């Protein structure tokens, strides 16, 4: 996975972002910097403030407090300039299902005064694999092809920044992989991408990630930085009756978390010695196979969320 160029002025730099709806604080003093050409992933439980944060970062929503710039423009005073340079893709397919692929792209091009329109439409049809499907009604496309068309429409006007709100929800694994290959190709061309997702494998495809909960920024960095900075120690155990073993382990001092991962348990703690003392009696049981492993990103997120403090309302 290629990294964005170092040393360039960031695409986004904001600090102290706050957003309230009524008496509910949805985003609480968030500061983020996004390099140009980076794929920046936002993760967190539903209602964590991901979408609200993304919209404030690019001038689509005015913060109640905080300041910063996106693509060199002030997020408060120059939101109109930012919007012209942004492509926004929602989770729900938003194009016209009773129009063909080509008609949808041409319509979007006219909205943005794309010139020459015909040449740009042909370019996008070819780049996103729609040449043989250009006369097909958008409503007859599969879920994966609909998402591909939505992404194609987002880049018709050559945006500098893409906002993708859970773009692959409900899409099959092969279509998700192809979609992410297209995202990385756009990033390689210098487009900055902000994407919210619930999928751990998609998080690992991002150059940097941010993990939010209750409107707070809990973690931020590369995947390697987030995992290494967690301070977690993890053991994997496989064998019979794991559900019962899980309950026994959860009650032990030194065990911060015991969670099922496929046919094994991940047993995690923050103190290596305390964790080893806790699992020592079970490691002598020949029914179980124990091995020390690197914590997964999901281990880190589950532990972080379990030990974070909810934001007072």
pLDDT in tens, 246-277: 999 999 999 999 999 889 999 999 999 999 99
Helix, strand, coil abundance in the chain, percent, nearest 5: 35, 25, 35
What's the angle, vertex CA 78, arms to CA 73 and CA 82, rounded to 5? 65
CA pair distance 242, 265, nearest whole angstrom? 7
Q: Which CATH superfamily is domain 12-226 in?
A: P-loop containing nucleotide triphosphate hydrolases (3.40.50.300)
Residue closest to 165 by CA, chosen among 68, 61, 79: 61
CATH, domain 233-294, list 3.90.550.10, 1.10.3720.10, 2.60.40.1260, 3.30.70.920 = 3.30.70.920
Q: Are 179 and 171 in contact (CB under 8 A)?
A: yes
Q: How many other CB atoms are found less than 10 A from the CB of residue 104?
A: 22
- Which residues in the chain land under pLDDT 70? 1-8, 309-313
User: What is the structure's pLDDT at 306?
Assistant: 81
CA pair distance 48, 305, nearest whole angstrom? 11
User: What is the structure's pLDDT at 91?
Assistant: 77
CA pair distance 234, 95, nearest whole angstrom? 45
The structural domains of the chain, with segments of one domain joined by +, span 12-226, 233-294
Q: Are 280 and 249 in contact (CB under 8 A)?
A: no
pTM of the full structure: 0.89
CA pair distance 104, 126, nearest whole angstrom? 15
For CA atoms 270, 274, 277, 278, give the dihedral sign.
Answer: negative
């Amino acid at each position: 996975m290629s990294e964005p160029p170092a040393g360039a002025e960031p695409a986004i730099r904001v600090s102290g972002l706050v957003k309230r709806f009524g008496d509910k604080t949805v985003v609480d003093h968030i500061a983020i910097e996004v390099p140009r050409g980076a794929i920046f992933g936002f993760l967190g439980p539903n209602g964590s403030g991901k979408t609200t944060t993304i919209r404030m970062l690019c001038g689509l929503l005015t913060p109640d407090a905080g300041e910063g710039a996106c693509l060199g423009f002030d997020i408060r005073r120059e939101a109109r300039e930012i919007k012209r340079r942004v492509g926004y893709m929602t989770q729900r397919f938003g194009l016209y299902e009773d129009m063909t692929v080509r008609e949808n792209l041409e319509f979007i091009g006219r909205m943005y005064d794309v010139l020459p329109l015909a040449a740009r439409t042909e370019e996008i049809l070819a780049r996103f694999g729609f040449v043989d499907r250009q006369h097909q009604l958008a409503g007859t496309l599969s879920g994966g092809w609909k998402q591909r068309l939505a992404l194609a429409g987002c880049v018709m006007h050559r945006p500098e920044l893409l906002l993708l709100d859970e773009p692959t929800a409900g899409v099959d694994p092969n279509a998700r992989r192809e979609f992410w290959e297209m995202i990385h190709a756009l990033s390689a061309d210098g487009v900055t991408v902000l994407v919210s997702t619930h999928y751990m494998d998609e998080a690992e495809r991002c150059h940097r990630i941010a993990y939010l909960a209750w409107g707070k920024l809990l973690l931020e960095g590369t995947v390697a930085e987030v995992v290494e900075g967690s301070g977690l120690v993890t053991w994997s155990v496989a064998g019979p009756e794991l559900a019962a073993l899980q309950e026994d382990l959860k009650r032990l001092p030194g065990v911060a978390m015991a969670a099922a991962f496929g046919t094994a348990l991940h047993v995690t703690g923050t103190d290596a010695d305390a964790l080893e003392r806790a699992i020592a009696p079970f490691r002598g049981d020949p029914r179980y196979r124990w091995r020390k492993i690197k914590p997964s990103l999901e281990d880190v997120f589950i532990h972080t969320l379990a030990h974070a403090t909810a934001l007072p309302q």
